[in-house]
Amino acid sequence: MAGIRTRQEVFFNRAAIAGVMVALFIMLVPIYWITSTAFKPRNLATTIPPTVIFTPEISPFVKLFTKRSQLRDPVSQEIYDAAPWWEQMVFDGGQKVVRSNKGVVRRSGYGQRFVNSLIIAITSTFLAVSMGTLTAYGFSRFKVKGEDDWMFFILSTRMLPPVVVAIPMFLMYRLVGLHDTHIGLIILYTAFNLSFSVWLMKGFIDEIPREYEEAALVDGYTRMQAFFKIVLPEAMTGIAATAVFCFITAWNEYAFALIMTNRRAQTAPPFIPSQIGSGLPDWTVIAAGTFLFLLPVAIFTFLLRNHLLRGMSFGAIRK
């Protein structure tokens, strides 16, 4: 838009900036709201008018990680005073912390689910990206008859609605004992992400000039060595972007986790809604669980910002 600006143009530009600001505000308010709710005392979470200015506290996180039980009557002052600061926060909410027989504080399932999510997302990402990179290289550098058909086949497996796949997978996992195991979910997520990773990596590898490998081959490298020493380092950015996309997909997945896992391998997404559970929902706890869960994704989105377009279009559009 260089050159001489007319008055009209300046006006349009200002209007556009204003419009963008409004859009940005609308897009970010829900995220801001869930974040701020995660730091509110319970009685400020559901006020009208909404509470915007408040003293942040971490009681929602204390509650998120502990098992609590509803008190019918407030505790006596002595018990309250004798309790540690974090337990007082729970008392303030009309609840008490559940302890084991030996006095150990019982933790809620959130921590374990979070760890499960990490294990499953990281492992499946590693598998999907490594297999995907190899396959992408195969399709990129060698002639494969019916290449388009194979690529379509690979893509189509990604498009299946999870519940459609879950019905037979449930029966098969029951036969082989993979129900409610980490491996079971890792396999499903790997299969789900593999097609994506092939498509995206093929685009990245197509961009690496063949001449680099040709030169290496002439220098006496084997094809394998050329792949590992020349192509892989060149493709590193692409691999990192693909990995982050796969991680986010696996991290966010809900339907398979809901159906195929139970107590041992369940990930965080089906667990967070469970905080809605008893008599009256405590939105601050739900918000705290959501906030922690969204944090890695938000960070990754920033790291990925230059590859978002490419990833979201399955590598069709490069920039």
Partner 1 sequence: MKTNFKNLMAGAAICAMSSTSLAAEELVIFWAEWDPANFLQELVNEYEEVSGVEVIVETTPWSDFQTKAFTEFNARGDAYDMIVGDSQWLGAASTGGHYVDLTEFFAEHNLAEVMAPATVKYYAEYPGNSGSYWAVPAEGDAVGWSYRKDWFEDPAEMAAFNEKYGYDLAPPATWAELLDIAEFFHRPDEDRYGVAIYTDNSYDAMVMGVENAIFSYGADLGDFETYEVDGYINSPAAVQALEDYKRLYGYTPPGWAKTFFVENNQAITEGLTAMSMNYFAFFPALLNEATNPHAAHTGFFANPAGPTGAQFAALGGQGISVVSYSDKQEESMKFLEWFISDDVQKRWAELGGYTAHAKTLESDEFRNATPYNEAFYQTMFKVKDFWAVPEFAELLTSANQRLYPFIVGNEGTAQETMDALAADWEATFKKYGRTE
Partner 2 sequence: MALSVIARLDPGSRAAKRGMSDLAIRNLFIIPTITFLIVFNIFPLLYSLGYSFTDFRASTNAPAKFVGLDNYKFLLNDEFIWRNFTITAKYVIISVTGQVIVGFGMAMLLNRDIPLKGLITTLLMLPMMLSMAVVGLFWKLLYDPSFGIINYGLGLGKFEWLADPDVALYAVALTDIWMWSPFVMLLSLAGLSAVPKHLYEAAEIDRAGSFYTFTRITLPLVAPILMIAIIFRTMEAFKTFDMAYILSSQPTTELIAIRLYKMAFLEWQTGQSSAFAYIVLIMVVAITNLYVKYLNKVKER
Provide the minimum distance between the beta carbon of 216 and partner 2 in the complex, in angstroms, as a whole number.
Answer: 11
Residue 60 interacts with which of partner 2, partner 1, none, CB < 5 to 8 Å by class: none
Residue 264 near partner 1 by CB under 8 A: yes
Which of partner 1, partner 2, none interacts with 316 (beta carbon under 5 to 8 A by kind)? partner 2
* Residue 105 binding partner 2, by CB under 8 A: no
Closest approach, Cβ 144 to partner 2, in A, equals: 7
From 23-31, 220-228, 266-274, 292-300, span contacting partner 1 (CB under 8 A): 266-274
Binding to partner 1 in span 57-86, by CB under 8 A = 67-74
Does 176 engage in binding with partner 2 (CB under 8 A)? no
Site residues for partner 1, 87-116, by CB under 8 A, read: 92-94, 98-101, 106, 109
Site for partner 2 contains 126 (CB under 8 A): no
Map residues 128-147 to x or -, x wherever contact with partner 2 holds by CB under 8 A. ---xx-xx-xxx-xxxxxx-
Angle at the Cα of 100 (from 94 to 103), degrees rounded to 5? Answer: 85
- Residues 6 or more apart whose CB falls under 8 angstroms from that of 252 comprise 269, 297
Burial 69-83 (b: 16+ CB within 10 A, else e): eeeeeebeeeeeeeb
Look at residue 285 and give the partner it binds from partner 2, partner 1, none, a contact being a CB closer than 5 to 8 Å depending on partner kind: none
Q: Does residue number 289 form part of the binding site for partner 1 (CB under 8 A)?
A: no
- 276 lies in the site for partner 1, by CB under 8 A: yes
Q: Shortest Cβ distance from residue 139 to partner 1 (Å)?
A: 37
Residues that bind partner 1 (CB under 8 A): 67-74, 92-94, 98-101, 106, 109, 170, 173-174, 179-180, 258-260, 262-264, 270, 273-274, 276-281
